[in-house]
Structure 1
Amino acid sequence: MKFIRVILKVFFVFIFVIGAFVTLMVGLDWYYREPLEAYCKNIAADATPIEVWNDAKENSFFVFSFQESDDRIAILNHKSFIFRYQCEVKFEKGLYASYSFISAD
């Protein structure tokens, strides 16, 4: 009987640790994703690439442009390799056209 109790205690501790880890990962994912996603959703329809670039920098995002074209800007939430997201902003005729939001890991 004691053996079964010990096994059950170990099992429940294991489940608790796994649950705490999953909760932490989901929380961190939301914490890092939400600010960039909110920023990208609120880009003005008449924004120019330089305005988006400067505004993203002011909001402490990591910004880079694609060298092969002037009609796209990639905005990352941070430089770290974990929980990194990218908002790729596309422009047509010098004005904001659309964005796509992806995981950058």
Structure 2
Amino acid sequence: MTTYANALTPPGMQGTIQGFVAAIFEIGIAIGSVTGGYLYDQWGGRVMYQIGGLAAAALAVVHFLIQIVCGAEPRKINGTRSIMGKGEIPPEQHKADEEEF
């Protein structure tokens, strides 16, 4: 999350965006906890895990389709690594990834 936030954010806004992304992540955890607790209370653990598994599988398919449609492969542009055609990550941030290219 930090790498994407730094790559897609104008200089000087990295801390703000990282905080925003972290807040959204924590809100997701809260929503998942409340939803899971409700499902467990209403129908028990077995149904809760079945619904969770189906939701995870459905979201995995949606994510896969978005990756195919948007062409989200990292590309090397002007000596930098680009994420989904937006923002650039300086090469020194990803020295370990240089062998992949």
Point out the structure with the larger strand share: 1
Q: TM-score, normalised by structure 1?
A: 0.32
* Rg larger for: 1
Q: TM-score scaled to structure 2, two decimals?
A: 0.33
